[in-house]
Amino acid sequence: MKVSIAQLDIERGDPETNLDRIGKSAAEAAAQGAELLCLPEMATTGFDWERNRELLKACGQHHQQLSEIARTHRIALCGSYLEEAPSGKAANTLIYHDATGLERARYRKMHLFTLFREHEHVEAGDSIVTADLGAFKAGFAICYDLRFPELFRRNMEAGAALQILPAAFPHPRLEHWRTLLRARAIENQCFFIGVNQCGFERHGASVGQTRYFGHSMVIDPWGEILAEAGEEAVVLTFDLDLDLVERVRKKMPSLVDRRPDLYGKRACGQAD
């Protein structure tokens, strides 16, 4: 399968500009023969907490525009966007549109980044989501979820051969990003796509700005890096040899050798 990643500089609170960049990235990826384009976290609006309520009014329209981009360029889209949850609150939600523009999966960010006070502005999801992407199944997660390996193990147990993670990782945590992405791929023996924002997000004089480091990556089931961006906006296209997942799992049967029957037991010597 041929897949593209679009490492974007997201304009905070400017969905028109961001949707235009997504459309241009989809056109470029489709011209390179890609079947799927993966986008960063909050790709339509950025993290404009103060304007969440205002932006929520138009998020349904933004999702429809994403559907139209997918249908126009005949390419599936996967990214994280602002969404109004059933409760009426804001959510940070991954949506997978297939190449006809139909929505096939929706995952709400489960682990909210308290250091960024995300929990004060969006509602956490409570469901693990995987989806069939034609010849294989993918598991979904968003940014801070990367630090919680249990989620990716559950995705793998549900049959995921690929894990997709839109993100907005800033400096100075580049080595955390690179290490954790490879670890999640190795321990679950799957392909892993981490798509990060790049550029600066300006929060105003009182807060300053955040610098995102990019370095979007594609990692194979051995933990080898197949593609890695720098810090600039870019579209990268690559081939995934999906048969490699099965070959790796047969050669290194660590998933078969797990002992889930023991993992819930008390540690030796632990007091009652």
The residues near 160 (Cβ < 8 Å, ≥ 6 apart) are: 130, 137, 138, 139, 188, 190
Within-domain flag for 258: no
Within-domain flag for 69: yes
Among 11, 59, 84, 109, the active-site one is 109
Cβ–Cβ < 8 Å for 80, 42: yes
- Mean of pLDDT values over 6-25: 97
Neighbours of 117 (CB within 10 A): 10
CATH of the domain at 43: 3.60.110.10
Domain interval for residue 30: 2-251
Within-domain flag for 227: yes
Residue 143 is among the residues annotated as catalytic for this protein: yes
Within-domain flag for 145: yes
pLDDT of 26: 98
d(CA 166, CA 92): 11
- 90 forms beta bridges with 84
Residue 24 is among the residues annotated as catalytic for this protein: no
Within-domain flag for 157: yes
Within-domain flag for 264: no
The residues near 16 (Cβ < 8 Å, ≥ 6 apart) are: none
Is 50 in a helix, a strand, or coil?
helix
Q: What is the pLDDT of residues 16-43, one digit of tens each?
A: 999 999 999 999 999 999 999 999 999 9
Residue 41 is among the residues annotated as catalytic for this protein: yes
Whose structure tokens read 């103060």? 50
Within-domain flag for 94: yes
Among 78, 143, 190, 198, the active-site one is 143
Within-domain flag for 259: no
Among 11, 35, 38, 41, the active-site one is 41
Cβ–Cβ < 8 Å for 104, 131: yes
Cβ–Cβ < 8 Å for 217, 227: yes
Alpha helices in the chain (DSSP H): 15-31, 52-73, 149-157, 174-188, 243-251
Q: What is the pLDDT of residues 217-263, one digit of tens each?
A: 999 999 999 999 999 999 999 999 999 999 999 999 999 999 999 99
Number of folded domains in the chain? 1
